[in-house]
């Protein structure tokens, strides 16, 4: 699909691409464009820049598009066998590397690096090799390649062997584990990951903390950085897009529906997350229950609007976590609810317009992950909220580096402390809340997505 025959000057590689396909009942292919920082960034460099996005076919529709040779200009989808992709994506990237970098393992029982893991690791190598070979084939001499995230940690090293002329960068959208946790990986696998990453000219991270953790791992387990440079680029919210989109008709309609659910004159504590294990939704709910228990004055005066959109439901542990979110929400409503007041308004169906409606209505935004590379919700809510919101923020998210001064920060494991922070946020004087929100919004939008991508590109081009 959309091969450039070795003419691309700027290449992006990521598991998920900017477009996905479905097959209609009549056999026609329907394309749906995605958004996000990379899409904005590639748009910003202009259509005459000979850019190519290399990604994986994720669905039957995507694979059909590859088979038909259909697709959009500037995108090459790789039809990696579905079983190889499943092993690499679910078996290794999401069930091992994600867990290591977010420090999520229950170590008395997991991880177990057995023969099944080794089989899946072979698929992860094959998956990375497919990307490296496609990039080598498509890149013009001296081209710039930016590889994305933990799915593709081996690509820079593989690509360096195939095409030493290229400028290669890699950007990590997750935290990076400290050496004591990273060494949980089998020694040879940890070495492969680090050598793969160090094949890049430049590695980008969301915060200095994650960059320092990588450097510590490289020095301890790979003999140092060699010639690889490290950069920090704190992805910001897209203020113009968010403010415009949040005032469109469908958002206004959802605001009206939400107001009716919440009830007249009540305060709102808003969270919007995927049901990722790292997002800490259950402890957030327990903190809200503690608030209602310890500060009875908030009963019937506040509603917790919790949007927990299903994520990775093909993994049993994620399905169980989603079920626990539902169970705790129902418990709180059963214990504290009254005929005219539902304490928790929980929604599990992904709806961006409804998320924006909740942002606008937020008095308090609760962002309490165990660990998070950045967390854009923490940056988006202050930009969109109508009256300015207070932000209760985990000290373990990347956004803490930029927003911590004007947020109310919490230890994400401390349910009692988080309940106290929610009380403080709800009790904050409206003027102070608005002033803090203004400063939060300014910090949150300091590096909008297009500039975030262009800064990396410029820095990478300057390396040689």
Q: Render 104-171 in DSSP notation, one character per residue.
A: ---TTT-----HHHHHHHHHHHHHHHHHHHHHHHHEEEEEEEEEESGGGTTHHHHHHHH-TTSEEEEE
Per the listing, tokens 């050496």 go with 179
Residue whose C-alpha is closest to residue 354's, from 308, 395, 393:
308
What residues does 12 pair with on adjacent strands?
53, 146
Residue whose C-alpha is closest to residue 420's, from 288, 304, 332:
288
Report the pLDDT value the prediction gives residue 422, as an integer from 0 to 100: 98
Using CB atoms within 10 Å of the CB of residue 352, give its burial: 0 to 12 exposed, 13 to 18 middle, 19+ buried. Answer: middle
Report the pLDDT value the prediction gives residue 2, as an integer from 0 to 100: 63
What pTM did the predictor assign?
0.94
For residue 139, say if its preceding peptide bond is cis, omega within 30 degrees of 0. no
Per the listing, tokens 């088979």 go with 67
The torsion region of residue 175 among left (phi > 0), alpha (psi -120 to 50) and beta comes to beta
Report the pLDDT value the prediction gives residue 418, as an integer from 0 to 100: 98
Q: Where are the alpha helices (DSSP H) in 198-266?
A: 208-221, 239-245, 249-262
Report the sign of the C-alpha dihedral through residues 35, 314, 307, 446, in that order. negative
DSSP 175: -
Q: How far apart are CA 385 and CA 21, in angstroms?
A: 34
Residue whose C-alpha is closest to residue 203's, from 223, 228, 238, 178:
228
**Which domains, ranges and CATH numbers included, belong to the chain?**
8-235+450-461 (3.40.50.2000), 239-444 (3.40.50.2000)
Q: How far apart are CA 456 and CA 433, in angstroms?
A: 34
Q: How far apart are CA 65 and CA 27, in angstroms?
A: 11
The torsion region of residue 405 among left (phi > 0), alpha (psi -120 to 50) and beta comes to alpha
The torsion region of residue 388 among left (phi > 0), alpha (psi -120 to 50) and beta comes to left
pLDDT tens for each residue of the chain, 464 residues long: 566 677 899 999 999 999 889 888 888 888 888 766 566 666 666 555 689 999 999 999 999 999 988 778 889 999 999 999 999 999 999 999 999 999 999 999 999 999 999 999 999 999 999 999 999 999 999 999 999 999 999 999 999 999 999 999 999 999 999 999 999 999 999 999 999 999 999 999 999 999 999 999 999 999 999 999 999 999 999 999 999 999 999 999 999 999 999 998 999 999 999 888 999 999 999 999 999 999 999 999 999 999 998 877 777 888 899 999 999 999 999 999 999 999 999 999 889 999 999 999 999 999 999 999 999 999 999 999 999 999 999 999 999 999 999 999 999 999 999 999 999 999 999 999 999 999 999 999 999 999 999 999 999 999 76
Report the pLDDT value the prediction gives residue 309, as an integer from 0 to 100: 85
Residue 399 tokens read as 């956004």
How many Cα atoms are found within 13 Å in the side-chain-facing hemisphere of 383? 25
Report the pLDDT value the prediction gives residue 48, as an integer from 0 to 100: 53
Q: How far apart are CA 291 and CA 298, in angstroms?
A: 8
Report the pLDDT value the prediction gives residue 69, as an integer from 0 to 100: 86
Report the pLDDT value the prediction gives residue 35, as an integer from 0 to 100: 63
Residue whose C-alpha is closest to residue 281's, from 303, 302, 305, 297:
305
Q: How far apart are CA 383 and CA 238, in angstroms?
A: 9
């Amino acid at each position: 699909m959309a091969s450039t025959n070795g003419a691309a000057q700027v290449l992006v590689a990521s598991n998920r691409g900017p477009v996905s396909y479905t097959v209609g009942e009549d056999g026609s292919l329907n394309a749906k464009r995605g958004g996000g920082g990379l899409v904005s960034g590639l748009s910003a460099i202009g259509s005459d820049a000979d850019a190519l996005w290399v990604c994986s076919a994720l669905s039957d529709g995507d694979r059909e598009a590859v088979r038909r040779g259909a697709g959009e200009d500037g995108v090459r989808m790789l039809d990696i066998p579905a079983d190889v992709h499943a092993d690499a994506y679910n078996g290794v990237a999401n069930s091992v590397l994600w867990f290591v970098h977010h420090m999520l393992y229950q170590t008395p029982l997991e991880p177990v690096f057995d023969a099944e893991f080794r089989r899946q690791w072979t698929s992860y190598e094959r998956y990375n090799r497919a990307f490296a070979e496609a990039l080598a084939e498509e890149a013009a001499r001296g081209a710039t390649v930016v590889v994305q995230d933990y799915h593709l940690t081996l690509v820079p090293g593989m690509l360096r062997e195939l095409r030493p002329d290229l400028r290669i960068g890699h950007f990590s959208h997750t935290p990076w584990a400290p050496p004591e946790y990273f060494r949980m990986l089998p020694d040879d696998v940890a070495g492969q990951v680090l050598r793969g990453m160090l094949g890049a000219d430049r590695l980008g991270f969301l915060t200095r903390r994650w960059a320092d953790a990588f450097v510590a791992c490289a020095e301890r387990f790979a003999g140092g950085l060699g010639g690889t440079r490290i950069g920090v680029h704190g992805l910001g919210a897209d203020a113009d897009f968010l403010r415009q989109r949040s005032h469109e008709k469908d958002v206004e309609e959802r605001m009206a529906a939400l107001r009716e659910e919440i009830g007249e004159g009540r305060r709102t504590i808003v969270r919007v997350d995927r049901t990722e294990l790292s997002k800490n939704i259950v402890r957030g709910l327990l903190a809200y229950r503690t608030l209602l228990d310890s500060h009875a004055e908030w009963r019937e005066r506040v509603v917790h609007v919790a949007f927990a959109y299903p994520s990775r439901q093909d993994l049993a542990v994620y399905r169980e976590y989603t079920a626990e979110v539902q169970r705790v929400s129902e418990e709180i409503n059963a214990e504290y609810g009254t005929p005219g007041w539902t304490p928790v308004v929980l929604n599990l169906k992904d709806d961006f317009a409804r998320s924006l409606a909740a942002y606008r209505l937020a008095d308090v935004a609760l962002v309490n992950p165990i660990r998070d590379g950045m967390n854009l919700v923490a940056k988006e809510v202050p930009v969109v909220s109508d009256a300015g919101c207070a932000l209760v923020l985990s000290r373990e998210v990347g956004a803490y580096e930029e927003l911590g001064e004007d947020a109310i920060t919490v230890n994400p494991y401390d349910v009692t402390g988080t309940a106290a922070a929610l009380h403080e946020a709800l009790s904050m004087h409206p003027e102070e809340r608005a002033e803090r929100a203004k400063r939060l919004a300014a910090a949150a939008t300091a590096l909008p997505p297009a500039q975030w991508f262009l800064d990396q590109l410029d820095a990478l081009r300057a390396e040689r």
